C-alpha cells in the first residue's frame, strides 16, 4: 500500500501548471456516449477516476485510446448498456452514464454508485429527471433499470435542490430527446457550463448556459457529432489546493493554466486571511503574509464557497491568529479529516455541521490517514507546514483526483516522497 512521507517546514517557490478538471472530464467522457463517431478529449487529468471512467466505457464496448492527457473515444461499437457494480462501486460519477445510455439506446442498467464516504448522496434527483422525460425506472438486484422504448420526450424538470450530477444526467438525457426540455434550479458550476458547450458543439442546442434555467432542444434521436476536439477546463479545486499550500507555508508560488473566474471565492477568502495576489490572464501568484488572519466559511453551491475546498482552508486556519469557523451545509460526513488534523497538533472542535478551528502556534508531524479525496489534500497541506515528518496512508483517495501531486510539489521545493509498505 502506497503512502506519502512529507518532511515539513520548507518554504516553497516556483511554478505549477494546473491540470484539467476531473469533475468536468468525467461528465464530458460520459457525453461521448451520445455520439456514434470518434471524439477526441484533451487536457484530461491523469488520475484514477478518469481511468476508471474510460474503463467503464470500454466495458460497454466503446473503443478507447488513452495516452496521458488525451483520449480518443469511439462509442459507435457500444454493445452493452449495463454499467456493472465492479466499476460503479469504485466511483460515484459512474452514474453519469445513465442519461446518455438511456438517451441513445432507449434502455440501460446502471449499478447504484459508490465513491467517497462523505455522506448520503442519493440519486433520487437523477431518477426524477429521466422519469420526467418519459423513462420507466425500476430497481433490480442493486441496479437502476431505465427504459424508454419510444425514446425520451422533452419536458420540464424541476429540481427540489441543486444537484451537479443530476443536472449533468438531465442535460445528456435531454440532448437526444424529442422536443424541448427545461431544467429549473439547475446547477451553475463551471463543469456544467463546459458540458452545455460540448453538447452545443455536437449539434444539440442548449440555452441559458451558466444560469439556473437551462433549455435544451433535443435532436430527436440523432447522435451528436463532434468535429472539433474537446479541451477540458482547468481544475479549480486543484488550483485552490495549491494556493492553500502556498498560504500555509507562507510561500510565493505561481499557478499557470488557471481560469481566474472559477476560483474567485477561494481568492477572496484567502484575501480575508491576509494574502495578496498577482493575477494575469491565466496565471496567479500568491504572496506570503506575516500573519494569517481568521476566516469564517459557509459552503454552498457555485458560485458560493465550494465544499471541495473547506478541508484545505481548515488546514490553513489551524495557524491563523484567531479562531475560525467553518459551516458545512452540503454533506453531513465531511469533517472526517478533523481528527487527523488534530493528530498533527491542530485544535479543532466540532458541533454538528460547524467546525471551530482554534489557532495553534505550530503543527507537528505524525502518522495520519486519508479518509476521502479532499481530506487527504488537507493533510498534505498541513504536513507541509508541520515540524518533522508526516506519513499519510490511504493515499489512493488522493490519487483519485490529483494529477502528479508529489511531482508538482517537489518541483517547488516540498520534501514529498511516495513509498510503499
Q: Are 54 and 64 in contact (CB under 8 A)?
A: yes
Gap between the Cα atoms of 311 and 295, Å rounded: 13
Gap between the Cα atoms of 267 and 265, Å rounded: 5
Where do runs of H (alpha helix) occur along 219-327? 236-248, 264-272, 310-317
Q: How far is CA 269 from CA 12, 158, 244, 263, in A?
A: 21, 32, 11, 10
For the stretch 243-255, what's the b/e string if a residue is b when 16 or more beta carbons lie within 10 angstroms of its beta carbon? Answer: bbbbbbbbbbbbb
Catalytic residue among 75, 108, 116, 244: 116
Nearest-CA neighbor of 83 among 51, 54, 60, 58?
A: 60
Widest CA span of the chain, in angstroms? 66
Q: Note if 116 is an active site residue.
A: yes
Q: Are 266 and 27 in contact (CB under 8 A)?
A: no
CA atoms within 13 A on the CB side of 157: 38
Grid coordinates given for 417 = 516522497
Gap between the Cα atoms of 234 and 213, Å rounded: 24
- Report, as residue numbers or ranges, the catalytic residues: 116
Amino acid at each position: 500500500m502506497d503512502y506519502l512521507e512529507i518532511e515539513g517546514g520548507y518554504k516553497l517557490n516556483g511554478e505549477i501548471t494546473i491540470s484539467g478538471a476531473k469533475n468536468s472530464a468525467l461528465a464530458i467522457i460520459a457525453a461521448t456516449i451520445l455520439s456514434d463517431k470518434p471524439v477526441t478529449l484533451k487536457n484530461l487529468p491523469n488520475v484514477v477516476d478518469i481511468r476508471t471512467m474510460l474503463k467503464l466505457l470500454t466495458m460497454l464496448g466503446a473503443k478507447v485510446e488513452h495516452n496521458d492527457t488525451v483520449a480518443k473515444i469511439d462509442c459507435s461499437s457500444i454493445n452493452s448498456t449495463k454499467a456493472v457494480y465492479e466499476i460503479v462501486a469504485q466511483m460515484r460519477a459512474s452514474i453519469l452514464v445513465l442519461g446518455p445510455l438511456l438517451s441513445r439506446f432507449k434502455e440501460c442498467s446502471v449499478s447504484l454508485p459508490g465513491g467517497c464516504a462523505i455522506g448520503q448522496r442519493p440519486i433520487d434527483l437523477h431518477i426524477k429527471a429521466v422519469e420526467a422525460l418519459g423513462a420507466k425506472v425500476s430497481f433490480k438486484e442493486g441496479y437502476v433499470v431505465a427504459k424508454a422504448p419510444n425514446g425520451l420526450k422533452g419536458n420540464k424538470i424541476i429540481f427540489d435542490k441543486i444537484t451537479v450530477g443530476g443536472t449533468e444526467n438531465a442535460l445528456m438525457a435531454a440532448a437526444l430527446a424529442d422536443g424541448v426540455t427545461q431544467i429549473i434550479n439547475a446547477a451553475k458550476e463551471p463543469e456544467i457550463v463546459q458540458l452545455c458547450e460540448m453538447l452545443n458543439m455536437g449539434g444539440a442546442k442548449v440555452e441559458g448556459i451558466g444560469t439556473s434555467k437551462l433549455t435544451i432542444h433535443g435532436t430527436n434521436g440523432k447522435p451528436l457529432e463532434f468535429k472539433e476536439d474537446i479541451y477540458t477546463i482547468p481544475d479549480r479545486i486543484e488550483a485552490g489546493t495549491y494556493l492553500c499550500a502556498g498560504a500555509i507555508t507562507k510561500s510565493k508560488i505561481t499557478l499557470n493554466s488557471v481560469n481566474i473566474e472559477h476560483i474567485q471565492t477561494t481568492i477572496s477568502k484567502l484575501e480575508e486571511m491576509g494574502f495578496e495576489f498577482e493575477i494575469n490572464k491565466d496565471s496567479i501568484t500568491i504572496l506570503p503574509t506575516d500573519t494569517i488572519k481568521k476566516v469564517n466559511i459557509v459552503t454552498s453551491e457555485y458560485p458560493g464557497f465550494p465544499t471541495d475546498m473547506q478541508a484545505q482552508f481548515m488546514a490553513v486556519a489551524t495557524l491563523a491568529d484567531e479562531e475560525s469557523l467553518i459551516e458545512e451545509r452540503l454533506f453531513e460526513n465531511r469533517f472526517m479529516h478533523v481528527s487527523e488534523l488534530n493528530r498533527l497538533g491542530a485544535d479543532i472542535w466540532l458541533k454538528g455541521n460547524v467546525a471551530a478551528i482554534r489557532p495553534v502556534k505550530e503543527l507537528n508531524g505524525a502518522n495520519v490517514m486519508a479518509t476521502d479525496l479532499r481530506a487527504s489534500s488537507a493533510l498534505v497541506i498541513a504536513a507541509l507546514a508541520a515540524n518533522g515528518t508526516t506519513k499519510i496512508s490511504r493515499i489512493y483517495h488522493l490519487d483519485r483526483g490529483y494529477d502528479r501531486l508529489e511531482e508538482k510539489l517537489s518541483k517547488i521545493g516540498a520534501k514529498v516522497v511516495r513509498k510503499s509498505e
